[in-house]
Amino acid sequence: MTSKSSIVRILLRLYPAAWRREYGLELEDLLMTRALGPSTVADVAFNALRQRVRHASPATLYGLTVMSVIFLLLTWNIVAPPATGDGLAAVLRDSPMTLPTIAIAPLTSYYYLLLVAAVTSRMASRHDVSPSQSGMDGIRICAIASLPIVMAGVLMLLGILHVEVLRAGQSPTTFAQHGFTYTFYDSGNHEFSPIAVLIAPMFRILESWMWGTIGGAFGRRGRVRESQPAK
């Protein structure tokens, strides 16, 4: 296999499977007959991204939205740490439970659970999906939304992202003083650990599945009611 054909295959893999099935061969022929310059590669890759967004399910798009919010809050914490442990930017909090020892504030809020239920309900009201598929959509939202937390955990483990643990009465330092550091408020329940940050999203998976299933059940009931003929 030539290097050009492998580049073309990689570029085609960037497109969604449904799109590839319909237009994949056509694009492959077109790319094989043309010179593959950086601008062509960039153009094809950018269009692949556009097609990914167009073909993405609402669960993926909402997952990406929550992920962006969590990423912004983490950045906010690093740049301007909150004065108290209750602030919006205090994404990671000391959990009052045995496990997980770290709670991810945006994913434990009622707004997040309502969002999962609302999205899966809307999806089930429009398409014929089973309860388990709605639950899987809930898991997908959680998995995508948790990516910045996993990334932060890995950076903490590698020692790239430092952590400043503050206890009651201590005030945070500024970005100029602490640099690339996450400020964590310790409530005294558990010792802070980067591994706990890394595994914290796993504890949200089952709850996301449950709310996804519940939302899906409501959406399906609405669709069945609408499809019944009026008496």
Partner 1 sequence: MNSSCPVPASSVNRERRGLVWLVGSFVICPCHLPITLAVAATVFSGTAVGAVISGHPYIAGIVISLAWLAGTWRGVYYLRSTATKS
100 touches partner 1 (CB under 8 A):
yes
The Cα 165–Cα 185 span in angstroms is 6
Q: At what angle do helices 110-126 and 131-145 cross, to 10 degrees?
A: 140
7 touches partner 1 (CB under 8 A):
no
The Cα 50–Cα 70 span in angstroms is 23
Q: Smallest distance from the beta carbon of 40 to partner 1, in angstroms?
A: 33
Q: Smallest distance from the beta carbon of 216 to partner 1, in angstroms?
A: 12
The Cα 156–Cα 78 span in angstroms is 13
Contact indicator for 31, 11 with CB cutoff of 8 Å? yes
Q: Smallest distance from the beta carbon of 2 to partner 1, in angstroms?
A: 32
The Cα 183–Cα 111 span in angstroms is 24
Q: Smallest distance from the beta carbon of 87 to partner 1, in angstroms?
A: 25
> What does the angle CA 52 – CA 135 – CA 16 come to, to the nearest 5 degrees?
15
81 touches partner 1 (CB under 8 A):
no
Part in contact with partner 1 (CB under 8 A); list of ranges 43-51, 67-75, 126-134, 153-161? 126-134
138 touches partner 1 (CB under 8 A):
no
Which residues 148-177 are close enough to bind partner 1 by CB under 8 A?
none
The Cα 40–Cα 91 span in angstroms is 41
Q: Smallest distance from the beta carbon of 10 to partner 1, in angstroms?
A: 23
The Cα 141–Cα 143 span in angstroms is 6
One residue of 184, 192, 209, 211 binding partner 1 per CB under 8 A: 209
Cis bond before residue 58 (omega within 30° of 0) = no
135 touches partner 1 (CB under 8 A):
yes
Contact indicator for 119, 111 with CB cutoff of 8 Å? no
Part in contact with partner 1 (CB under 8 A); list of ranges 144-152, 163-171, 184-192, 198-206? 198-206
98 touches partner 1 (CB under 8 A):
yes
Q: Smallest distance from the beta carbon of 206 to partner 1, in angstroms?
A: 6
Binding site for partner 1 (CB under 8 A): 97-100, 130-133, 135-136, 139, 202-203, 205-206, 209-210
